[in-house]
Chain A
Amino acid sequence: MTMLQRFALVPAVVLMTGTLSMTPAPAVSGPTGRAERIIAAAQTCPSWCTFCHAMNNDMWSYPSEFPNNDGYFGCSAGACEWGNCPETEEQMTAEEFGTAIVIATEGSPAEISEILDQHPRRVVLNEQRSAIQIKGCRGEIIAHIPVDPSRLAGLLDIEYGTR
Chain B
Amino acid sequence: MIRLFSLLFTIFTNVSYAQVTPTVIRDRPSCSACRISLSLKATLGDANGGPGELHGNVRGVRADDAGNLFVSFFAWGELLAQFDRAGSFQRRIGRLGSGPGEYRAAWLFEVIGDSLFIIDPGTARLTVHSLRLNRELRSASVSWLARASALARSTDGTIVGNTVVETPEEAGYPLHQFSADGKKLKSFGSVAPSLRPDLRLATMRSVAPGLSGGMWVAQVSSYDIELYDRAGSLIQLYRREADWFPPGSGRIVTAQPDGEPPQPKVVGVQEDERGRLWVLSIVADSGWRRAFSADRLPPRRAGAPQYYGVEDTNRLYDSVIEVIDPRSGKLISSTRVDEALAAFAGRNMAWSSVEQGGLTGVAQVRLWGLAFREH
A residues contacting B by CB (< 8 A) are 1, 5, 8-9, 12-13, 16, 37-39, 41-42, 44-51, 53-54, 63-77, 81, 98, 101, 105, 126-131, 133, 136, 140-146, 149
Contact = CB atoms under 8 A, between A and B. Distances in A.
Contact of A12 (B4, B74, B164): B4
B54 interface: no
Interface string B140-157: 000100110100000000
Contacts of B359: 68, 76-77
15 contacts: A13-B7, A16-B11, A38-B196, A44-B254, A47-B149, A54-B124, A69-B292, A70-B254, A72-B340, A81-B300, A143-B195, A143-B196, A144-B171, A144-B194, A146-B193
A39 B220 CA distance: 22
A119 to B, nearest CB: 16
B196 A47 contact: no
Interface string B186-224: 000000111111111101100000000000000010000
Nearest to A152: B7
Nearest to A42: B197
A46 B6 contact: no
A42 B121 CA distance: 21
Given A69-B255, A141-B167, A76 B197 contact: no
B182 to A, nearest CB: 15
B101 interface: no
Say whether chain B's binding surface is mostly helix, strand, loop, or mixed.
Answer: loop
A143 B197 contact: yes
B57 interface: yes
B309 interface: yes
Given A42-B197, A64-B300, A76 B6 contact: no
Nearest to A149: B11
Interface stretch (B20-28, B31-39, B232-240, B259-267): B259-267
Q: Which 7 A-B pairs have the closest CB atoms?
A: A140-B166, A141-B171, A77-B74, A41-B198, A144-B172, A67-B307, A144-B171
A84 to B, nearest CB: 16
Contacts of A42: 197-198
Contacts of A149: 11
Given A51-B121, A54-B147, A73-B265, A41 B3 contact: no
B252 A44 contact: yes
B337 interface: no
B173 to A, nearest CB: 9
